[in-house]
C-alpha cells in the first residue's frame, strides 16, 4: 500500500485504544493491527500480518464480510454490525470503513471493533426476563378472567339462594297460618264436645274425643317445633336478651317438671351456687333449653332413677348440666344426637311422644347465645347433657346498655348524667342474710331508685346484683341535680322490710355529667369506669314524715312542732289521693294518717299503698279522734300499726315515731 | 367448512358434555381420554383446535401440549382447561406452548368463547 503514511501515526493513535483496530487491503490481507487486536486474538503481530483477516476473526464461515460486496460501501457510511466470534466466545461490535485511494477505488478497509460480550449478555438476560414476565402476565390474565367468571357465577347462585330464602319465609308464614287455623277450630270443637254442650257423652265417647284432643295438641306442638327449627335455621329467631338469673330460671323449670318426675319416682338433685348468676340471655329461651333437657332426662330415665341439674360459675362462662341415670345413649348414636328428626328407641311407659326436634332446637338456641352443648353417656348407666353460655362482664354489659340508651336519647342541646349506685357490702350481706332476703333487698333498692327517677325518660340499667347505672338526659345542667338529690334522699331512708338491714346496707353513689356536644359514648363509658371506682358519698339528711289529715290546722301544728326539732322534714296532705302520690315519691320514714277523711279514709289510703312497691313497708301511725276499727286494721296486714288518739302531744307523737320507725334512733 | 376440534379429558361426563355442546354449535368433534390416544388422533385427524385438561392419566397435559406443538404438521390451536384457579397452572401452560387457558369452574361458556377467537 503506497502513499499512505500511517506508520508514523499508527502506534500513538491506535495503540492507546481499547478497541480492536485493523487494516486490510483490497484482498482482505491484514496489513496493520493495533495492540487491542493483538490482545483480543492472543496472537503475536508477526502471526497476524500477511494472513487473511477472516482466518483470524469473523471466522465462522471463513468468507468475506457477510454479504457485503465492497462496491456497496459509501465513504460516508461505515458498515456496522454485531458479530459473535465463536473461537473467542465473544461478541464484537464491528465497524467497517472502506479506504479510498486514487480515483475512488477502494484500496483497503479499516475495521474498528469493540468487545461487547458483557453488554450482549445483559441484553440476553433482559430478553429472557422479559419473556418470562410476559408469560407470567399472560398466566395472570387468564386466571383473572377465570375469577371474573366465577364471580358472576357466585352472584347468580346468590340470587337463586335469596329467592329460595324468600320461598322459605313465605312457606313459614303459610304454614303458620294455614295449618294452625283448622287446628284451632278442631281444638275448640273438641272442647265444646267434651264440655258436653251439644249433649251428654258416653264414657267411651269421652275417651275417644280426649284421644283426639291429645293428638291435636301433639300436632300443634309438632308445628311449633318445625317452625322453631325453621326460624332458627333461617336465623330469624330474635333473642330478647337481658340480664337474667340463670339459677332462678333453672329452678323454675325444675319445680314445673318435678310432679312429672315424682310420678315415676325419680329423684331430683340440684347443685346450684348459693347466689344468683347473671347471664345476658333470653329468659324464655333459657327456660326452653332447660325444659327440653330436663324433660328428656325424665323421659329416658326409668323408675327410681335420679336426675341432677347443676350450674357452675366458671368465670367468663357458666356451665349447666342435666345428668340422668337412665338408659344412656349408644356410641353410634352420639354423633346424631343433635340432628333433626332423630328419635332414639321407644320410650317405655306413657308420656308424650317427641317430635325428634327438641335437641336440634335446643342446640340452635344455645348457639344463638354463642354457647356450646355436648353430651356424655354410658349405655345403661345414664347420660349427661352439658352446655355453657358466655357471661358478659358487668362492665361490658354496661357499655352495651349505655350505647343503646344514650344513642337513643341524645340530640343536640342536652346534658347527659351518668349515675352508678352500688350497694357496697353486698357480698357480706349475702353471707349474713341469706339469699332470699338479699334478693328481695335488691329488688326494693331498684324500685326505690326507679321511683326517684322521672319514669320513662331516664334509663335504669341493672349491671349486676349490686350495681345500678342510671342515665339521665336533661335540658339544663341543673335539672339532673334535683333528681340526684331525690335519689340520694331515697337511698338514705333505707326502708327495708327488716329493721336490721337498714344499718347494714351501705350505698355509694357516683355521678358524672357530660355536655352532649362533648360527649361520645366511649368517653362516657370511660367515665363510667371512673365513677365505678368512686368512694361512698355520705348520705345524710332529715327524717321525712308524711302527715295526712283533712284538718288543716292539725297539719300546720304537727309540721311546725316536728320541724322545730330540726330533725324532721314534714310533708302535709289534706287529701288522701294527693298523699298517695306524695308518699310514693317521698318514701317517708313514717306515715301519720287520720282515719276519717272524706273521699278516701285512712284505712283505704294505707290499703292502696300496697300498689306502690316498696311502700308497703313504711310504718304507719293512725291518729283519730274517734275509735279505731280493729277489723279494718287487721285487714291491712301491716306488721306495725300504732294508734294515737287525738288530741296528742308532740312528744307522744315523736315517741311513737321512734317506736314505729325502721330506723334505729 | 366446519372446524374440527379434538377434546381430551379422562372424565367421561366432562368429555360428553363438552362434545355435545360443541356439536350443537356446529363443530366437528373427536374425543380422546388419554395422552397416547390423543396424540394418535391429533396426527391422524389434524384438528384445528385441541382442548385438553391439564391432568391426564398417562401423561401430563403440559407435556402433551409441548409434544404436539413440536409436530409442525399438526398446527392446531391448543386450549388447556382446568377446574382449579391457580396462576401457576396458567403460567406453566403458556411455558409449554398453550395458546389459551380456561378455568372451567364456572362452566364451559368460556371454552366456547375461546374457540371463536381461533376462527
The residue in chain A having the minimum alpha-carbon distance to the alpha carbon of residue B85 is: A143
Q: Which of A131, A144, A146, A154 to mutate to test the interface with B (most CBs of B within 10 A)?
A: A146
Fold for A543-660, please state it: Rossmann fold (3.40.50)
Give the per-residue pLDDT at B99.
Answer: 94
pLDDT in tens, A168-210: 777 777 777 788 888 888 998 999 999 888 899 999 999 999 9
Q: How confident is the model at residue B101 (pLDDT cuts 50, 70, 90)?
A: very high
- Interface confidence, given as ipTM, is 0.89
Q: How far apart, in Å, are the Cα atoms of A250 and each of A256, A271, A283, A600?
A: 10, 11, 10, 44
Tallying the residues shown for chain B, one arrives at 119
Ranking A135-149, A346-360, A573-587 by mean pLDDT, the lowest is: A346-360
Grid coordinates of A302: 326409668
Asked if A140 and B94 come within 8 Å (Cβ–Cβ), the reply is: no
Question: Which residues in chain A touch residue B89, judged by CB atoms under 8 angstroms apart?
Answer: 139
Inform me whether the pLDDT recorded for A122 exceeds 50: yes
Look-up of cell digits 353486698? A426
Residue bearing the bigger pLDDT, A167 or A484: A167
Average pLDDT, chain A: 78
Asked if A143 and B93 come within 8 Å (Cβ–Cβ), the reply is: no
Query: In angstroms, rounded to a whole number, what is the distance separating the alpha carbons of residues B92 and A200?
Result: 90
Give the highest mean pLDDT range of A562-571, A578-587, B35-44.
B35-44
pLDDT in tens, A387-431: 998 876 555 666 666 666 655 555 555 667 777 777 767 767 777
For A626, counting Cβ atoms within 10 Å of its Cβ (0-12 exposed, 13-18 middle, 19+ buried), the class is exposed
Separation of first and last alpha carbons in chain A:
143
Q: How confident is the model at residue A639 (pLDDT cuts 50, 70, 90)?
A: low
For A42, counting Cβ atoms within 10 Å of its Cβ (0-12 exposed, 13-18 middle, 19+ buried), the class is exposed
Q: How confident is the model at residue A526 (pLDDT cuts 50, 70, 90)?
A: low
A133 CB near a chain B CB, below 8 Å? no
Q: How confident is the model at residue A536 (pLDDT cuts 50, 70, 90)?
A: very low
Give the per-residue pLDDT at A516.
Answer: 56
Q: How confident is the model at residue A527 (pLDDT cuts 50, 70, 90)?
A: low
Asked if A149 and B88 come within 8 Å (Cβ–Cβ), the reply is: no
Ranking A127-141, A218-232, A497-511 by mean pLDDT, the lowest is: A497-511
pLDDT in tens, A30-68: 888 888 899 888 888 888 888 888 778 764 433 445 544
Instruction: Give DSSP secondary structure letters for chain B.
Output: -PPEEEEE-S-HHHHHHHHHHHHHTT-EEEEESSHHHHHHHHHHH--SEEEEESB-SSSBHHHHHHHHHH-TTT--EEEEEESS--HHHHHHHHHTT-SEEEE-TT-SHHHHHHHHHH-
B85 CB near a chain A CB, below 8 Å? yes
pLDDT in tens, A440-461: 777 777 777 777 776 555 667 6
Asked if B103 and A143 come within 8 Å (Cβ–Cβ), the reply is: yes
Q: How confident is the model at residue A533 (pLDDT cuts 50, 70, 90)?
A: very low
Asked if B107 and A143 come within 8 Å (Cβ–Cβ), the reply is: no
- Portion of chain A with pLDDT greater than 90, in percent: 15
Nearest to B90 among A139, A150, A153 (CB): A139
Per the CATH hierarchy, to which homologous superfamily does domain B4-118 belong?
Response regulator (3.40.50.2300)
For B92, counting Cβ atoms within 10 Å of its Cβ (0-12 exposed, 13-18 middle, 19+ buried), the class is buried
Average pLDDT for A102-127: 87
Tell me the CATH number of domain A394-533, given options 3.30.70.270, 1.25.40.10, 3.40.50.720, 3.40.50.300: 3.30.70.270
pLDDT in tens, A265-305: 999 999 988 776 778 788 888 999 999 999 989 988 888 88
Average pLDDT for A206-233: 84
Nearest to A143 among B90, B95, B110 (CB): B90
Inform me whether the pLDDT recorded for A359 exceeds 80: yes
Give the per-residue pLDDT at A262.
Answer: 87
Look-up of cell digits 348457639? A367
Q: What are A97's strand-pairing partners?
A: A110
Asked if B87 and A153 come within 8 Å (Cβ–Cβ), the reply is: no
Nearest to B110 among A135, A138, A149 (CB): A149
Asked if B90 and A152 come within 8 Å (Cβ–Cβ), the reply is: no
Q: Which residues contact A416 (CB under 8 A, 6 or more apart)?
A: A406, A409, A410, A471, A472, A473, A474, A513, A514, A515, A516, A519, A524
Grid coordinates of A311: 350450674
Query: In angstroms, rounded to a whole number, what is the distance separating the alpha carbons of residues A194 and A205?
Result: 9
Average pLDDT for A374-378: 91
Asked if B93 and A147 come within 8 Å (Cβ–Cβ), the reply is: no
> Closest Cα to residue A297, out of A258, A335, A246, A242?
A258
Give the per-residue pLDDT at A665.
Answer: 33
Query: In angstroms, rounded to a whole number, what is the distance separating the alpha carbons of residues A474 and A462?
Result: 21
The residue in chain B having the minimum alpha-carbon distance to the alpha carbon of residue A146 is: B103
Three-state SS annotation for A279-320: EEECHHHHHHHHHHHHHHHHHCCCCCCEEEEEEEECCCEEEE
Nearest to A143 among B85, B107, B109 (CB): B85
Exposure on the CB side of residue A443, measured as CA atoms within 13 A: 11
Inform me whether the pLDDT recorded for A532 exceeds 70: no
β-pairing, A30-33 vs A242-245, is unpaired
Average pLDDT for B79-99: 92
B84 CB near a chain A CB, below 8 Å? no
A145 CB near a chain B CB, below 8 Å? yes
Look-up of cell digits 363509658? A525
Question: Which residues in chain A touch residue B107, judged by CB atoms under 8 angstroms apart?
Answer: 149, 153
Q: State the CB neighbour count (10 A cutoff) for residue A224.
A: 15
Asked if A142 and B88 come within 8 Å (Cβ–Cβ), the reply is: no
Q: Which of B85, B100, B111 to mutate to test the interface with A (most CBs of A within 10 A)?
A: B85
Rg (alpha carbons) of chain B, rounded to whole number: 13
Give the per-residue pLDDT at A376.
Answer: 92
Q: What are A98's strand-pairing partners?
A: A109
Q: What are A544's strand-pairing partners?
A: A569
Look-up of cell digits 338479699? A438
Give the per-residue pLDDT at A607.
Answer: 84
Shortest distance between the Cα of A131 and any Cα of chain B, in A, equals 10
Question: By three-state DSSP, how is residue A511 classified?
Answer: strand
Give the per-residue pLDDT at B96.
Answer: 94
The residue in chain A having the minimum alpha-carbon distance to the alpha carbon of residue B106 is: A150
Domain boundaries, chain A: 7-115, 243-329+372-390, 394-533, 543-660
Average pLDDT for A574-585: 85
Asked if B90 and A147 come within 8 Å (Cβ–Cβ), the reply is: no
Fold for A243-329+372-390, please state it: Heat Shock Protein 90 (3.30.565)
pLDDT in tens, A304-328: 889 999 999 887 789 999 999 988 8
Shortest distance between the Cα of A156 and any Cα of chain B, in A, equals 11
Q: If you classify domain A7-115 with CATH, what class do you get? A: alpha beta
Inform me whether the pLDDT recorded for A465 exceeds 60: yes
Asked if B91 and A152 come within 8 Å (Cβ–Cβ), the reply is: no
B101 CB near a chain A CB, below 8 Å? yes
Instruction: Give DSSP secondary structure letters for A87-146.
Output: TTTEEEEEEEEEEE-GGG-EEEEEEEEEE-HHHHHHHHHHHHHHHHHHHHHHHHHHHHHH
Q: Which of A359-388 are b and which e, b meaning 16 or more Cβ less than 10 Å from the residue's Cβ? A: bbbbbbbbebbebebebebeeeebbbbbbb
Nearest to B94 among A135, A146, A152 (CB): A135
Shortest distance between the Cα of A126 and any Cα of chain B, in A, equals 17
Give the per-residue pLDDT at A638.
Answer: 62
* A359 contacts A337 by C-beta, under 8 angstroms: yes
Q: Which of A476-505 are b and which e, b meaning 16 or more Cβ less than 10 Å from the residue's Cβ? A: eeebbeebbebbbbbbbbbbbeeeebeeeb
Residue bearing the bigger pLDDT, A432 or A221: A221
Question: By three-state DSSP, how is residue A67 classified?
Answer: coil
B107 CB near a chain A CB, below 8 Å? yes
Asked if B102 and A142 come within 8 Å (Cβ–Cβ), the reply is: yes
Grid coordinates of A224: 311449633
Question: Which residues in chain A touch residue B100, judged by CB atoms under 8 angstroms apart?
Answer: 142
A152 CB near a chain B CB, below 8 Å? yes
Q: Which residues contact A317 (CB under 8 A, 6 or more apart)?
A: A371, A388, A389, A390, A391
For A602, counting Cβ atoms within 10 Å of its Cβ (0-12 exposed, 13-18 middle, 19+ buried), the class is buried
Question: Which residues in chain A touch residue B54, judged by CB atoms under 8 angstroms apart?
Answer: none
> Closest Cα to residue A359, out of A271, A261, A232?
A232
Question: Which residues in chain A touch residue B113, judged by CB atoms under 8 angstroms apart?
Answer: none
Average pLDDT, chain B: 91
pLDDT in tens, A123-168: 999 999 999 999 999 999 999 999 998 999 999 999 998 888 778 7
Nearest to B106 among A139, A140, A149 (CB): A149
Give the highest mean pLDDT range of A277-281, A580-584, B55-59.
B55-59
Query: In angstroms, rounded to a whole number, what is the distance separating the alpha carbons of residues A357 and A295?
Result: 13
> Closest Cα to residue A368, out of A353, A387, A347, A349?
A387
Question: By three-state DSSP, how is residue A566 classified?
Answer: coil
Q: How far apart, in Å, are the Cα atoms of A386 and each of A177, A310, A366, A376?
A: 36, 9, 11, 8
Shortest distance between the Cα of A83 and any Cα of chain B, in A, equals 30
Nearest to B105 among A136, A138, A150 (CB): A150
Give the per-residue pLDDT at A537.
Answer: 30
Amino acid at each position: 500500500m503506497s502513499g499512505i503514511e500511517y506508520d508514523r501515526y499508527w502506534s500513538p493513535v491506535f495503540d492507546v485504544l481499547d478497541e480492536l483496530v485493523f487494516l486490510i487491503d483490497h484482498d482482505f490481507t491484514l496489513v496493520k493491527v493495533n495492540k487491542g487486536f493483538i490482545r483480543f486474538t492472543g496472537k503475536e503481530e508477526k502471526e497476524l500480518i500477511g494472513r487473511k483477516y477472516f482466518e483470524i476473526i469473523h471466522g465462522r464461515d471463513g468468507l468475506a464480510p457477510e454479504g457485503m460486496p465492497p462496491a456497496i460501501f459509501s465513504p460516508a457510511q461505515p458498515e456496522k454490525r454485531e458479530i459473535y466470534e465463536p473461537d473467542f466466545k465473544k461478541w464484537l461490535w464491528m465497524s467497517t470503513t472502506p479506504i479510498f485511494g486514487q480515483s475512488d477505488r477502494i484500496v483497503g478497509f479499516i475495521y474498528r471493533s469493540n468487545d461487547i460480550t458483557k453488554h450482549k449478555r445483559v441484553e440476553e438476560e433482559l430478553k429472557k426476563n422479559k419473556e418470562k414476565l410476559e408469560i407470567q402476565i399472560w398466566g395472570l390474565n387468564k386466571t383473572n378472567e377465570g375469577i371474573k367468571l366465577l364471580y358472576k357465577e357466585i352472584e347468580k347462585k346468590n340470587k337463586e339462594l335469596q329467592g329460595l330464602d324468600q320461598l322459605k319465609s313465605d312457606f313459614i308464614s303459610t304454614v303458620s297460618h294455614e295449618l294452625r287455623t283448622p287446628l284451632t277450630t278442631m281444638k275448640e270443637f273438641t272442647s265444646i264436645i267434651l264440655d258436653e254442650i251439644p249433649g251428654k257423652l258416653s264414657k267411651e265417647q269421652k275417651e275417644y274425643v280426649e284421644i283426639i284432643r291429645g293428638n291435636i295438641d301433639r300436632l300443634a306442638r309438632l308445628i311449633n317445633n318445625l317452625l322453631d327449627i325453621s326460624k332458627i335455621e333461617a336465623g330469624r329467631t330474635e333473642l330478647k336478651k337481658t340480664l337474667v338469673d340463670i339459677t332462678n330460671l333453672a329452678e323454675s323449670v325444675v319445680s314445673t317438671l318435678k310432679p312429672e318426675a315424682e310420678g315415676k319416682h325419680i329423684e331430683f338433685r340440684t347443685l346450684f351456687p348459693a347466689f344468683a348468676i347473671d347471664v345476658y340471655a333470653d329468659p324464655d329461651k333459657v327456660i326452653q333449653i332447660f325444659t327440653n333437657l330436663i324433660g328428656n332426662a325424665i323421659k329416658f330415665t326409668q323408675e327410681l332413677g335420679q336426675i341432677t341439674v347443676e350450674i357452675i360459675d366458671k368465670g367468663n362462662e357458666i356451665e349447666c348440666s342435666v345428668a340422668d341415670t337412665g338408659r344412656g345413649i349408644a356410641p353410634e348414636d352420639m354423633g346424631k344426637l343433635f340432628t333433626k328428626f332423630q328419635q332414639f328407641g321407644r320410650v317405655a311407659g306413657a308420656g308424650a311422644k317427641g317430635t325428634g326436634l327438641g335437641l336440634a332446637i335446643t342446640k340452635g338456641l344455645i348457639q344463638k347465645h354463642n354457647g356450646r352443648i355436648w353430651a356424655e353417656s354410658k349405655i345403661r348407666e345414664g347420660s349427661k347433657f352439658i352446655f355453657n353460655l358466655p357471661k358478659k362482664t358487668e362492665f361490658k354489659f354496661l357499655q352495651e346498655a349505655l350505647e343503646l340508651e344514650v344513642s337513643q336519647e341524645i340530640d343536640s342541646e342536652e346534658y347527659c348524667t351518668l349515675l352508678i349506685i352500688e350497694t357496697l357490702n353486698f357480698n357480706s350481706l349475702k353471707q349474713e342474710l341469706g339469699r332470699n332476703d338479699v334478693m328481695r333487698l335488691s329488688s326494693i333498692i331498684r324500685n326505690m331508685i326507679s321511683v326517684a327517677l322521672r319514669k320513662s325518660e331516664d334509663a335504669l340499667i341493672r349491671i349486676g346484683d349490686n350495681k345500678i347505672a342510671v342515665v339521665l338526659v336533661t335540658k339544663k345542667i341543673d335539672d339532673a341535680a334535683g333528681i340526684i338529690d331525690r335519689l340520694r334522699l331515697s337511698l338514705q331512708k333505707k326502708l327495708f322490710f327488716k329493721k336490721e338491714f337498714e344499718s347494714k346496707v351501705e350505698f355509694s353513689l357516683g355521678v358524672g355529667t357530660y355536655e352532649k356536644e362533648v360527649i361520645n359514648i366511649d368517653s362516657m363509658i370511660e367515665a363510667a369506669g371512673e365513677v365505678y371506682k368512686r368512694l361512698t358519698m355520705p348520705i345524710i339528711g332529715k327524717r321525712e314524715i308524711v302527715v295526712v289529715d283533712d284538718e288543716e290546722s292539725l297539719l300546720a301544728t304537727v309540721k311546725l312542732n316536728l320541724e322545730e326539732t330540726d330533725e324532721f322534714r314534714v310533708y302535709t296532705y289534706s287529701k288522701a289521693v294527693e298523699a298517695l302520690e306524695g308518699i310514693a315519691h317521698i318514701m317517708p320514714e313514717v306515715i301519720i294518717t287520720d282515719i276519717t277523711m272524706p273521699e278516701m279514709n285512712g284505712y283505704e289510703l294505707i290499703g292502696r299503698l300496697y300498689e306502690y312497691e316498696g311502700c308497703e313497708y313504711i310504718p304507719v301511725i293512725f291518729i283519730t279522734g274517734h275509735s279505731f276499727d280493729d277489723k279494718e286494721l287487721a285487714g291491712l296486714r301491716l306488721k306495725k300499726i300504732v294508734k294515737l288518739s287525738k288530741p296528742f302531744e308532740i312528744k307522744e307523737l315523736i315517741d311513737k315515731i321512734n317506736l314505729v320507725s325502721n330506723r334505729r334512733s | 367448512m366446519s372446524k374440527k376440534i379434538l377434546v381430551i379429558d379422562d372424565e367421561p361426563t366432562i368429555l360428553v358434555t363438552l362434545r355435545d355442546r360443541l356439536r350443537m354449535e356446529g363443530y366437528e368433534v373427536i374425543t380422546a381420554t388419554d395422552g397416547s390416544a390423543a396424540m394418535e388422533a391429533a396426527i391422524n385427524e389434524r384438528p384445528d383446535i385441541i382442548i385438553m385438561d391439564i391432568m391426564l392419566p398417562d401423561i401430563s397435559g403440559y407435556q402433551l401440549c409441548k409434544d404436539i406443538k413440536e409436530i409442525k404438521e399438526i398446527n392446531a390451536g391448543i386450549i388447556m382447561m382446568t377446574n382449579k384457579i391457580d396462576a401457576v397452572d396458567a403460567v406453566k401452560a403458556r411455558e409449554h406452548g398453550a395458546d389459551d387457558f380456561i378455568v372451567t369452574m364456572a362452566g364451559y361458556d368460556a371454552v366456547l368463547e375461546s374457540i371463536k377467537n381461533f376462527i
